[in-house]
Amino acid sequence: MTKTLLSFGHGYSARALARRLLPQGWRIFGTTRSADKAEALRAEGIMPVIWPGDDLTQAFEQATHLLISAGPNEDGDPILNQYRDEITKLAPRLDWAGYLSTTGVYGDHQGGWVTEDTPLTPSTKRGHLRVQAEADWQSIPGLPLHIFRLAGIYGPGRGPFAKVRKGTARRIVKKGQVFSRIHVDDIAQVLEASINRPNPGAAYNVCDNDPAPPQDVIGYAADLLGAPLPPEEDFATAEMTPMARSFYAESKRVDNTRMKDELGVDLIYPDYRSGLQALLSEVD
């Protein structure tokens, strides 16, 4: 039987996974919201489904694997809101299901370490919605669910170089603030490793080995470019949007031991320095 992935919210991370699976003969249905994006997916070898809108009957009938990248909103998880019955019927036939969550479910730990066994105590609205969405997906009987709690995602098209070149990069400094991050190619290899080594019920932190202050990352990007070091700005007085400021509400170091040990993952980019060096070579 042909392995067939139904990918809800087939965006940045899912497309990276598809680049690994398609050469192996996988078929992939990917949902997107617009006709333009659907055509872009088709050009990549994906069978696009505009959702909401198109009929997903064929995708549900053929799926052997399920990936959920679409996030929840105030009404809950949009996929379960519309397709809970279909997914409940599909669940026993699936070989694997993956839900892309966020390390925001752990809340603020003032720079301390968190593991997958750390209680979920989110401090932001987005984090609370994710905790509820995880629980909603876990409630589907017989679903071979794996939860992936992603750190800050970067990769091609999502790096600091453009802002450094434009002179708009900022080094916001908040004492003790650290973030964990992950290159999109490593997300893809973690998902593939889980597909090849399923362990339903497992949750994995997906991050690199080097939690770091955000100003250090910007500084390193500037150094790679030979650009002037953006001046430091104190978080307390810096002008920031509410959304940008909210990212600084939580500080933690995310442990990735389970991801590496259980899935046998050897990170392509074990820290931001190796990841940024690779991005620069791709851009230039």
pTM of this prediction?
Answer: 0.95
What's the CA gap between 176 and 162, in Å, rounded? 26
Chain center to CA of 64: 21
What's the CA gap between 1 and 33, in Å, rounded? 29
Q: Which residues of the chain are under the pLDDT cut of 70? A: 283-284
Q: Is the separation of the CB atoms in 59 and 30 below 8 Å? A: no
Chain center to CA of 212: 18
The pLDDT value recorded for residue 245 is 85
Helix H, strand E, coil C: the string for the chain is: CCCEEEEECCCHHHHHHHHHHHHHCCEEEEEECCHHHHHHHHHCCCEEEECCCCCCHHHHHHCCEEEECCCCECCECHHHHHHHHHHHHHHHHCCEEEEEEEHHHHCCCCCCEECCCCCCCCCCHHHHHHHHHHHHHHCCCCCCEEEEEECEEEECCECCHHHHHHCCCCEEECCCCCECEEEHHHHHHHHHHHHHCCCCCCEEEECCCCCECHHHHHHHHHHHHCCCCCCEEECCCCCCCHHHHHHHHCCCEECCHHHHHHHCCCCCCCCHHHHHHHHHHHHC
Domains of the chain: 4-153+183-207+254-268 (3.40.50.720)
The pLDDT value recorded for residue 283 is 59
Mean pLDDT of the chain: 94
